[in-house]
Amino acid sequence: MSMTRWAVLGPGAISRDFAAGLAASSLGVLHAVGSSVADRAAGFAADHGVGIWGDYDAILTRDDVDAVYIGTVHTTHADLAIRALEAGKAVLCEKPATPTLTETERMLSAAYDADRPLVEAFKNRFGPFADTLRRTVADAAEGALGAPVALEASFGFAAGRRTGRLFDPALAGGAILDVGCYPLSLAVEVARVGRAADSGPTLVEASGTLVEGVDGDATAVFDIGGLEARLSTAIVRQLPGSAVIRCERGEIVLPDAWGGRAQSASTIIVRTPAGERVIEVPTVQPMGAEADAVTLALAERRLEAPEMPWADTRAIAAGLTEWRAAVIGGGTGVDSRA
């Protein structure tokens, strides 16, 4: 299998983390850097020993770029992804795919029309921890634990300053899209793997607090094919970052559900009436694992990665769209105090 030649679009902090992850990959190499400001691309390229840089059009028209990683602000994902797909590139798009279900559907349609892979970059979906969790949930549904019936998960942090993209309504800032997408992604996957759910999430209730015009924190309850998912997120306070999957006769506990950008999570705890079992799995560089999933999709002429199927991307986008509308738009249970 030949090495995938990657271009990074958007030379920001998360793209630097992706470049570090890609360095751990045996299937891909950073080949080019694109930015809306060419000088920023040049600086990123110099820092990473890359000789090719330029604006987006200059990078996307190159025949020696096989795949692109999109690490820009949420509101630019759709247009950049579609341009890349139409140029014949595979796309790994940082989560969330887009701020709305409508834009996400546009991206998926473009990938289908272009016959190129499109993968949403949820780092917690890739690597040994994610594979083991999926097997554990699937085995639970058919074994001693029973099917999952409820899930509780949180992801939140206290931003150092209340400026920049996180607190900019025009850039789709806020907790729900930035980190609330992780608990929802987990719930969607657990419902699919553990309950064979084929319907998207239905919002039961939501609440949140607006800060600088964006959702500073938020909670939601979703029903996903009979799984009750209680989710919490914040960018103004630290939350545990853990998850509990409650099954018919026990539970699966993830003390660190999300891992970090440089190292995946490693511990799964299974509790049944017979006792507790702790599963420890090897860690990997999860952003490198994301890239490798795209390379394999390219090599096998698939449009999707099995770790992050389009049905999940669509379901997550639907849930996020509804959750944000409830909180920012004054929907069910909203507390809009600053």
Number of residues that make up the chain: 338
Catalytic residue among 31, 95, 123, 125: 95
If DSSP codes are grouped into helix, strand and coil, which group holds residue 152?
strand
**Eight-class DSSP state of 166:** G
CB 248 within 8 A of CB 142: no
Residue 24, judged by CB atoms within 10 A of its CB (0-12, 13-18, 19+), counts as middle
Q: Is 123 a residue of the active site?
A: no
φ, ψ of residue 225 in degrees (nearest 5): 60, 35
Half-sphere exposure in the Cβ direction for 67 (13 Å, CA): 30
φ, ψ of residue 286 in degrees (nearest 5): -65, -30
**Eight-class DSSP state of 308:** B
**Eight-class DSSP state of 264:** -
Mind telling me the catalytic residues? Answer: 95
